[in-house]
Chains A and B, each alone.
Chain A
């Protein structure tokens, strides 16, 4: 069921998360204007960034635009990444998520989004079998953790993260009392965090 594909074209055999652990170094290189470091950073992360953005904005052209904005911001602001406030991956995805959400909320205020379903498949063949397998395993791990949540927790998380809805809108969509969605979101994220063993410190994963 996975459509997970990565852009990487190098044939490095490192597990994805080892590469993710390199991000702080790649960010530091980017901050000094090292375009190769930035290219590598892009290769390592663009599938997660683009895929998430696409789920949120549901339109490939817009997802590409947002993704480009995200990486240009990362290039400009790489020096301002502060490891004290979380991992590089979390920082990058936070930037991306915020931009994606801004995009759909802006669109929402103009006209309701068309409900095109996100067909996230891309036609490009996936040639990095080992990485695809690793990415699949990682995705499965997260999916299993999601499965362990209550239905309301899971729905609330997904609507907020991938739907780009505020917790009030989530409450409306799920027909739960105002004020309940935010606690379900928090409880769900805490459970997810604990079951995945992430804490926002560097060298996690």
Chain B
């Protein structure tokens, strides 16, 4: 573990309390995706943090309950995002682990990137982007590919050695209602493995970090799929392909 990694490892407590600023948050989450010890520590410290709420319990306003129960009937619960966690075909033991680097997204990011995928909702801050790239992809073999995605474009910076990638999208149009973008890892035989779904923020930005084994991947593809994603790309739905 390098000294900067050691430095990051001391942020577990502040992370568990949401006490990191955005740049640190991004750097730490990138680190977390690769550090099982940190992930375990974060999990246990979150449990400890949750205990603090026992000291502040207070009854919410009475009408909140009714309001809420009246509202949820019109909200459809999302399906599980387990599709985003499928193992790469050739490496059944490894899983893609998606990590948002967005402070705004930590809600979903939960611990250690096991939440499947994350979309980045605030990628237009250059320091966040820079931190994501410099902290995650400082590997010597880092390379990048770009491709047009509808009216926008996406760049994927990846390292086969480090098993990591960052997807950065700009001007990506909002997918149609009930649709989502989905990233695919494609091997030479054309087999596609889901790398997770994502949607751009309101400014069309996307920033997703992922870790996983890229050894057999020769192309990455982006398709538009029904909300929640698909197991395999819908025929004809791939709108961008990038050879790596």
- The chain A residues found within 8 Å of chain B, CB to CB, are 3-7, 30-33, 35, 38-39, 42-43, 46-52, 54-55, 60, 63-64, 67-68, 71-73, 75-80, 82, 84-87, 89-91, 93-95, 97-99, 101-102, 120-122, 124, 126, 135, 138-139, 141-143, 145-146, 157-158, 160-162, 164-168, 170, 181-183, 185-190, 192-193, 196, 198-200, 204
Contact A198–B19 (Cβ < 8 Å): no
Contact A50–B60 (Cβ < 8 Å): yes
Q: Which residues of B contact A47 (CB under 8 A)?
A: 57-60
Nearest B residue to A9, CB-CB: B65
Known contacts A33-B77, A101-B18; A142/B10 CB under 8 A: no
Contact B17–A79 (Cβ < 8 Å): no
Q: Which residues of A contact B12 (CB under 8 A)?
A: 186
Contact B13–A166 (Cβ < 8 Å): no
Q: How distant is the Cα of A124 from the Cα of B160 in the complex, in angstroms?
A: 59
Contact B72–A75 (Cβ < 8 Å): yes
Q: How distant is the Cα of A157 from the Cα of B53 in the complex, in angstroms?
A: 12
Given contacts A33-B77, A48-B54, 15 further A-B contacts (CB under 8 A): A5-B59, A7-B59, A38-B69, A48-B57, A50-B64, A52-B53, A63-B60, A68-B64, A82-B114, A91-B110, A93-B49, A93-B53, A102-B104, A185-B14, A200-B46
B150 sits at the interface (CB 8 A):
no
Q: How distant is the Cα of A107 from the Cα of B59 in the complex, in angstroms?
A: 24
Q: How distant is the Cα of A35 from the Cα of B47 in the complex, in angstroms?
A: 27
Q: How distant is the Cα of A4 from the Cα of B79 in the complex, in angstroms?
A: 35
Known contacts A68-B68, A161-B49, A196-B51; A4/B58 CB under 8 A: yes
Contact B54–A80 (Cβ < 8 Å): no
- Minimum CB–CB distance from B231 to chain A (whole Å) comes to 16
Nearest B residue to A158, CB-CB: B52
Nearest A residue to B73, CB-CB: A35
Contact A97–B20 (Cβ < 8 Å): no
Q: Which residues of B contact A31 (CB under 8 A)?
A: 77, 80
B:51-108 near A, CB below 8 Å: 51-62, 64-65, 67-69, 71-73, 75-81, 103-104, 106-108
B21 sits at the interface (CB 8 A):
yes
Contact B48–A135 (Cβ < 8 Å): no
Q: Which residues of B contact A170 (CB under 8 A)?
A: 19
Give the total of B residues in contact with A, Cβ under 8 Å: 58
- Minimum CB–CB distance from B197 to chain A (whole Å) comes to 12
Q: Which residues of A contact B30 (CB under 8 A)?
A: none
Nearest A residue to B80, CB-CB: A79
Contact partner of B58 (CB less than 8 A), chosen from A5, A143, A166, is A5
- B126-158 interface mask toward A, CB cutoff 8 Å, 1 = contact, 0 = none? 000000000000000000000000000000000
**3 nearest interchain CB pairs?**
A186-B13, A51-B58, A193-B48
Nearest B residue to A36, CB-CB: B69
Q: Which residues of B contact A189 (CB under 8 A)?
A: 13, 16-17, 45, 48-49
Q: Which residues of B contact A161 (CB under 8 A)?
A: 17, 49, 52
- Minimum CB–CB distance from A83 to chain B (whole Å) comes to 10
Q: Which residues of B contact A135 (CB under 8 A)?
A: 54, 57
B36 sits at the interface (CB 8 A):
no
Known contacts A72-B71, A189-B16; A90/B46 CB under 8 A: yes
Contact B52–A157 (Cβ < 8 Å): yes
Q: Most B CB atoms within 10 A — which of A31, A76, A182?
A: A182
Q: Which residues of B contact A183 (CB under 8 A)?
A: 10, 13
Q: How distant is the Cα of A93 from the Cα of B46 in the complex, in angstroms?
A: 9
Contact A182–B10 (Cβ < 8 Å): yes
19 A-B residue pairs with CB within 8 Å: A5-B58, A42-B65, A46-B60, A46-B64, A46-B65, A52-B57, A54-B58, A85-B111, A86-B111, A94-B110, A97-B17, A102-B103, A122-B58, A142-B51, A143-B55, A182-B11, A185-B17, A190-B45, A192-B51
Known contacts A68-B67, A77-B78; A85/B44 CB under 8 A: no
Known contacts A82-B114, A87-B50; A39/B69 CB under 8 A: yes
